[in-house]
């Protein structure tokens, strides 16, 4: 019975090691060329441990995408709690999104580049996350309208347009390393804010 995988003593610690190792392997090899054996070796676990947490390679990859999305949302929500409702929250949410992508290039590459063209499950996940963050930005825009910081606009369209603009420059950065995240932040953020009639220099 030695071939029967035992339940790990600390399942969450093992799961975390597997995800960390999978991130390295997927980022270096790409989804199709990554092998579970490589993830086993990198994580110092076993195939049984991987299958205990993830039924297949696809679910492991999607779990990494979810992990990054959760991190991004957590950083945004933590950052805006220190701001009053209005454009201050919108600005901080955008800053945090761009900063997080800049700090976490490998998971950003998985989400924005490697998940493209892998099939319906991956596209559905990308769309789900895109919708999730567009709705988050839309909420803060609606708050800004409610407190009078900006005039009424179609917040849904604006939120998706902003997401598209951010994705465009971040994907280029993931591929080429340029423009660097601070440059993206300094240039893109004022453009997005001005697109809804908000000027920060007037204070």
Task: Note the pTM of the prediction, 2 decimals.
Answer: 0.79
- SS in 3 state form for 13-50? HHHHHHHHHHHHHHHHHCCCCCCHHHHHHHHCCCHHHH
Structure tokens at 18: 């597997």
pLDDT surpasses 60 at 37: yes
Expressed as residue numbers, the domain containing 23 is 1-54
Does residue 93 sit in the same domain as residue 190? yes
Give 74-112 pLDDT, tens digit per residue: 999 999 998 998 999 999 998 898 888 888 888 888 777
CATH at residue 28: 1.10.10.60
Does residue 89 sit in the same domain as residue 185? yes
Within 8 A by CB and 6+ apart from 142, the residues are 155
Does residue 168 sit in the same domain as residue 136? yes
- Give domain status of residue 151, yes or no: yes
Higher pLDDT, 185 or 203: 185
- Give domain status of residue 86, yes or no: yes
Per-residue pLDDT band for 9 (boundaries 50, 70, 90) equals: low
CATH at residue 88: 1.10.357.10
């Amino acid at each position: 019975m030695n071939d029967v995988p035992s339940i790990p003593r600390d399942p969450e610690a093992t799961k975390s090691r597997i995800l960390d190792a999978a991130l390295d392997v997927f980022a270096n090899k790409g989804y199709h060329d990554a092998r579970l054996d490589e993830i086993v070796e990198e994580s110092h676990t076993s195939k049984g441990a991987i299958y205990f947490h993830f039924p297949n390679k696809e679910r492991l990859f999607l779990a990494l995408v979810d992990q990054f999305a959760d991190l991004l949302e957590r950083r945004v929500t933590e950052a805006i709690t220190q701001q009053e409702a209005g454009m201050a929250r919108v600005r901080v949410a955008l800053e945090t999104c761009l900063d997080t992508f800049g700090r976490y290039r490998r998971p950003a590459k998985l989400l924005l580049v490697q998940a493209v063209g892998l099939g319906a499950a991956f596209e559905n996940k990308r769309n789900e996350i895109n919708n999730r963050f567009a709705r988050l930005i839309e909420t803060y825009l609606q708050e800004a309208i409610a407190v009078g910081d900006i005039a009424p606009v179609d917040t849904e369209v604006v939120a998706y347009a902003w997401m598209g603009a951010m994705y465009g420059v971040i994907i280029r950065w993931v591929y080429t390393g340029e423009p660097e995240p601070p440059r993206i932040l300094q240039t893109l953020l004022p453009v997005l804010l001005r697109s809804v009639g908000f000027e920060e220099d007037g204070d």
